[in-house]
Every structure is written in C-alpha cells, then in structure tokens.
Structure 1
C-alpha cells in the first residue's frame, strides 16, 4: 500500500495539470500552490524564530484551531503561528481578513514524499498540530524524522474513515505517529483503544470555546439592530435550495418576523429565484438601506453570519439535505434554539444528535415538520427551556483549548527532560 500511495502522489500532480484547463476549481487549487516553497522560504527568512504549525483541511477546521491558537499565543506570545490549508475555499476566506494571531498562511503541498520533506525542512516548526482528520503520510513522516512533536486535536473518528477501511493498517500509521491525540468525544477515544492506541485523552470540541468567544464579543451591527426594531428574528445560516424549499412557505406565513438569510452560494441567481417565491419584501445587504421596509434580508457577503445570530430568536442552519450540515454551534453559542434538516450521516455530525438530546436542536424532514417545530418554539415555555438548554450545553463544554495546551506543555516538558 505504501508503494501505491507514493506512486499515486508521484503521478497525480501531472494529471491534475493536464485537467486544469477544464476546471476553474482545479485551476484555483493548483495556482494557489505555485511557488509555495519560495514563498515559505521568504517568510522563514523574515521570521527565523520558533513557531508552531497548524494544519487544517478548510474553514471549519480552522475555526476549531482558533481557540487553540489563541491559548497557545497567550502562553507563549513569542511563538510564531503558521496555518496551512488544503482547501482553497478555506484559505481564501481566512487570507482576505487580518488574523491577529497568525504570522503566516499557506497552502499545504500535495503529499509527494520530496514535497513533504521540503516543506518541513523549510518551515522547521517546533511543534505541530493537525486538526480533526486531515492527515498526510509523507508530511508526518518528515516531521517524525526530525523528532518534532506532532499532535492530533479535535479528533472525531468514524467507522467509515480510511483508518478503519480495507487499507486501514497503512493509514493508521498516521495516528500512531502522533505524540498525543485529543478527541472530541468518548466514542473516538474508545475507537483508538480498540486499535491499540493509548496516548490519547478526551479534550472535547474546541468549537464550543470558539462560539462562546464570538457570542461574548459579537460584531456591532447597529444597522441590523435598527432594522429588527424589536421584532422576532429568524436567522437562516448557509441556506441551500433544499432548505429554502421548505422555508419559503413558513416565511410567507410569518410576515411579523424579520428574516435574515445567509445563502451558501453568494451568486445572485439563487437569491433572485427565492425572491420571486417569497411574498414579503426582500433586499440584499449590498444594496440595502436601513430605512427600507423589507421583511427579508439576504446577506450576500462572507463574514457576518456568526455575529448575526445575536439577533435571532430562532435559527435555521442549512446543508443537511445536501452535502452536509453546517455549524449549528454558532447560534447555540448565543443561546438560540436551532432547527436543521434531517442529517443523513449522524456519525459525521454528532453535535446534531446531541443537540436534540439536550433539547436545543430540532431536526425536520419536510415543510410540515418544520412548521410543527416552529409552532412549538413559539410556545414561551418550550422556547425558554430550549434557550436554557443551549446555554447550559455550551457552558458545560468549555475549556477544550486550555486542556489541550496544558497537556501539550506537560508532554513537551517531559520530552525535553
């Protein structure tokens, strides 16, 4: 299997280059990695000090890394922080805005052996964190040859992952190369024990730290506050076509509400289609004035959603009917009950099932069940219980980042002795 893996990553770069003219996404993926070593070398020349490297797949994993980065910076302010992304969408989102705790953002080269070795050789990190699952064999092996401590954080393991499939013995090498694994849940810890890995502990989900931080200091949005004017607000986050199909009848039946909709796709076509079916007055944020009398506001930009939940009485988070449920913890961080579509793969989104058990998350399958849940949440008694449940669940899960950093400090101290 190791030979096949090496062969795959030896030939795949050439194949991708041949396919590049036929796919704008692939072109973007490859262009982002051009001159990655030259740029990394220039950064390292300008920043020769000690640094920590965090690798994330995309934006969701970066959000999980942020509390860890903040906690590490608080403990060691002089330590440089580098974050690498695999996905262009995550890289683009983060690179557009200032990131106060980051010293450098880069793409991760494809996992070709020579590239993995070169990346580690140039970067020379003091310690490394892989977040959740995006593990790459040759990069990890290059780190181990240099005796650099490597940790997996926010691990959430499932039976369908490569570690447990037909070629599990090869991919499990990535897990066994870790100096310590911090899991999100007990199930992941148990799965590690079943394969004989014991250098692990249950730390929890760092996203709770992140959403609590956002809720404590949300962005000031006076224009939105003025527009809501005391009316009940529903915030729809990451809306897909399948979500809007069941939401639009509900929107049309509740003209007294303010509806804030953040689409997954920011191109105008979906919003224009939905506007034709919505009977209430709509507006797009980019062309909106606070004095407008619209009841529906489309957020046609990136970066506002996480703070918009401060205005929500109820939230709906999309994606479950399609590629996967988006972040339901963001509204829960504000103590806001959240509705979402029926999740197909519950093991991939354990927070969806747990939120229902806690009494602050509500799964719907169609227009009828959505209306039934919404009516229930309009009952003050049930609503207040749900708000309390959300607040209590988030509060009881705080501290994952501090637990990780404390254990890492302990392990490194032992290693140095």
Structure 2
C-alpha cells in the first residue's frame, strides 16, 4: 500500500480525533473551529484575478521569522496580496489581525481534498514555508501546479526523520522545495547528505527583525525615573523557578542595583506571591503613579508589550524559561549589547547555544551559580560591557537573511 495513501488515511483519522477532543479542550476547539472559517475568509479577501503570495508559519516564533520577509514583500510586490496561514492557535489567535498580510487564516489539514480547495482559492504565485513546516500533500500539489516553493530560516538536525533510515516518505516530501534558506552550515550539510544541493546559508531572519529594534524609539519615562543613574538588571519572561533564584539574590545582595521583573504569568495571584516574597522596596507597574519610582529597588511589570523597550535600560539581563518549559527570546536583550544570564535548558535554541559558546550568555544551573555570576559581574563593570559587546556583535554580523531571500524571490517573481 503506497505511503501517501496511508498518510491520507492517518490525516483524516487525526482530524476526526481532533474534532472529538475539541469538545473538551479549549485550545483544540480553536484549532478546529478556526479551520472551519478558513475558506470563507479566503473567499472574502481573494478574487480570482488577484495575484497572491502565500506564507505559512507554525506559530508565533515562526511568524516573527517570516515577518521581515512579509514586510519587504509588501514594498517590493505591492500588486500581490499576501496570504498568511498558521498551524497553531497560539500563533493565529495573537496575530490574526496583523497588518503584515492581507488575510490570515488557519491552515486546513493536509488532506488531498482540503489542500486542493485551499490552493485553488489562494492560487499563489509563490509559497514560502518557515523553519520546520513540511506538509507532504501541500508540497506535492504545489509542485504539481508548478508553484515556486521556498523553505526559509530552516534548521535541521540528524535527529529529524528526514535523516533516518525509515524516513523515506518525509525525505521525499522535503525534496519538493525549490530552494532552501538554512540557518547554518550543519543544516546545509545534512541536506546535501540526502541529495539536496539547492540551499543557501542565510542565517535566521529573526535577527533581521531584532536588529530593527534599535531603529525604534525605545524611551520609557517610567524607566528613566526608576533607574536614574543606578545599575539595573532586567529579568524578562520569568517563571516561578526563575523567580525563586532572582528573589533570593535580590533579598540578600548588598550591592547598589535596581531590578525589573517582567513575569511570563501576570495574573494577580502570581504577582502578589512575588511581591510578598520580596524584602526590598517594590513598585508595581500598574500602580506606579501612586508610588515614588526613584525610591523603589524592584519594579514588577504586570503588563505585556513593554519588555523589549525595558531591555534597553538594562545593564544585565536574565531571560526566563531555562529552568522551566523552555528558554524565551534572548535576541531582544542581545541586540542592546547586554550580557544575558539564563537557566540550564537552552539546547535546541541555536542563538543561545552560539552565545553561550561565545561567552555573551551565561548559563547557570542553581542558586549558587547565579549568585556567583552576579557577584562577578557587579565587581567588574568592564566585564559587563565586554560580554554585552559579544551579544551585540553576534546580532550585527548575522543579519541579512531576509535580503538574501528577497534577492532570490525577485529573480522569480
């Protein structure tokens, strides 16, 4: 029995199972119900005569990687409508109203019938998949319709199925891309090992996105007042495991330094726990108008959307998640030329791996390790500048992926 036939059976069984699970699970309900609206949204926004370019991303992280390309496409191909699809609710529900695309939708399941309907409505002049997204039926029908298809910001490891003895079906599907823009030399070598030589090492388009942060106005009046002339540590996207270590250091240090904590979870009960555990004078962002910011030692940020600008005021940063479910974005503080401390779980985050090796990011595994790093940094501010420069240089020398991709696109469209 052909593997494609088995794959289609599996996709249909999976879709049926998801519809059952959706009765009991809110996230899966969004996944299922959102896909029920995809075709009507496409019909509303795309006419038969429209020229379109389609980009597909899995979730929010891949959206950030695709965004620099979408922004450039908007300028270079103004007559094309930009269609953006998401796989995950955690991406779509946040960015469904993005101005970067003319319409954003959930990607229909990868069954033959759904793929044909989707491609007929979208009729793209080009398809762009970001990072990991390899859907056999979509790629098969894009190739059949002779639609140029790119995989961008791709990163591969030998652990993936494409490089395993039993990965023939997925390996064949991966081979349907017309060109690959990979993040590193290792990924290119892995592609070449299975016969795909049509790749370009371009780096990660997120670095293009991050580098643009420096061009914005990052001034925040409340941070000017809070920091004043003191050293400041900003801890972003923290989890309880991170906060325990941070709070212990804050409570015991005798150094003159201010702290900003921007937790990943900003529910009131969680914020209250942090405040009650702190022994230093603490101010809450949502109540800062009632307090003297300049006299506070700790500022708790109980809102979202400000962290990137807050990082610009930091002398040292801590990025959360490395003791919990997975590391958060280290590139945003890195672009400001600031040393970064993280927990031990950073494998699989290429930029973190690179910068730990280079020395700009320091990984700690316990309270003792964190305390020692902080003591060393605070004892020698020249080290703070030196490590921060490593991070800034990494961002600065690894940008340009989006421009490489756009040169390739311009040669086709």
Contact 2:96 2:105 (C-alpha < 8 Å) held by counterparts: no
**Residue ranges of structure 1 left out of the alignment (5+ in a row):** none
| Distance verdict in 2 for CA 1:296–1:185, change over 3 Å | same
Moved more, 326-335 or 302-311: 302-311
Contact 2:149 2:178 (C-alpha < 8 Å) held by counterparts: yes
Indicate the SS of the match to 2:46: helix
CA distance in 2, matches of 1:299, 1:81: 35
Contact 1:343 1:352 (C-alpha < 8 Å) held by counterparts: no
Q: CA deviation at 1:339?
A: 0.9
Moved more, 164-173 or 58-67: 164-173
CA distance in 2, matches of 1:250, 1:206: 36
TM-score between the two structures when normalised by the length of structure 1: 0.91
CA distance in 2, matches of 1:249, 1:398: 38
Contact 1:183 1:200 (C-alpha < 8 Å) held by counterparts: yes
Contact 1:226 1:290 (C-alpha < 8 Å) held by counterparts: no
| Distance verdict in 2 for CA 1:121–1:335, change over 3 Å | same
| Residue 199 (structure 2) pairs with residue 200 (structure 1) | yes
Structure-2 residue corresponding to 1:123: 122
Q: Which one of 26, 29, 37 corresponds to residue 27 of structure 1?
A: 29
Structure-1 residue corresponding to 2:171: 172
| Distance verdict in 2 for CA 1:4–1:297, change over 3 Å | farther
Contact 1:208 1:397 (C-alpha < 8 Å) held by counterparts: yes
CA distance in 2, matches of 1:231, 1:288: 19
Contact 1:162 1:168 (C-alpha < 8 Å) held by counterparts: yes
| Distance verdict in 2 for CA 1:305–1:31, change over 3 Å | farther
**Residue ranges of structure 2 left out of the alignment (5+ in a row):** none
Q: Which one of 297, 321, 329 corresponds to residue 331 of structure 2?
A: 329
| Distance verdict in 2 for CA 1:332–1:74, change over 3 Å | same
| Distance verdict in 2 for CA 1:61–1:158, change over 3 Å | same
Matches within 5 A, 1:347-386: 348-378=348-378, 379-386=380-387
Structure-2 residue corresponding to 1:114: 113
| Distance verdict in 2 for CA 1:380–1:370, change over 3 Å | same
Q: CA deviation at 1:283?
A: 4.2
CA distance in 2, matches of 1:223, 1:155: 40
| Distance verdict in 2 for CA 1:166–1:152, change over 3 Å | same
| Residue 107 (structure 2) pairs with residue 82 (structure 1) | no
CA distance in 2, matches of 1:155, 1:361: 23
Contact 2:338 2:385 (C-alpha < 8 Å) held by counterparts: no
Q: CA deviation at 1:250?
A: 1.5
Structure-1 residue corresponding to 2:231: 232
CA distance in 1, matches of 2:81, 2:252: 53
Q: CA deviation at 1:290?
A: 7.0
Moved more, 155-164 or 309-318: 155-164
Matches within 5 A, 1:266-415: 266-289=266-289, 291-293=291-293, 294-343=296-345, 346=347, 348-378=348-378, 379-410=380-411, 412=412
Structure-2 residue corresponding to 1:3: 5
CA distance in 2, matches of 1:237, 1:25: 25
Q: CA deviation at 1:93?
A: 2.0
Contact 2:338 2:389 (C-alpha < 8 Å) held by counterparts: no
Matches within 5 A, 1:235-254: 235-254=234-253
Deviation string, structure 1 residues 54-113 (Cα, Å, up to 9, x no partner): 1111111111111122222332233322221111111222236xx443211111122222
Q: CA deviation at 1:258?
A: 2.9
Indicate the SS of the match to 1:33: helix
TM-score between the two structures when normalised by the length of structure 2: 0.92
| Distance verdict in 2 for CA 1:48–1:240, change over 3 Å | farther
| Residue 259 (structure 2) pairs with residue 259 (structure 1) | yes
Indicate the SS of the match to 2:192: helix
Indicate the SS of the match to 1:289: helix
Q: CA deviation at 1:279?
A: 1.6
| Distance verdict in 2 for CA 1:91–1:300, change over 3 Å | farther
Indicate the SS of the match to 1:126: strand
CA distance in 1, matches of 2:302, 2:409: 41
Contact 2:316 2:384 (C-alpha < 8 Å) held by counterparts: no
Aligned positions, number: 407
Q: CA deviation at 1:396?
A: 0.9
| Residue 52 (structure 2) pairs with residue 51 (structure 1) | yes
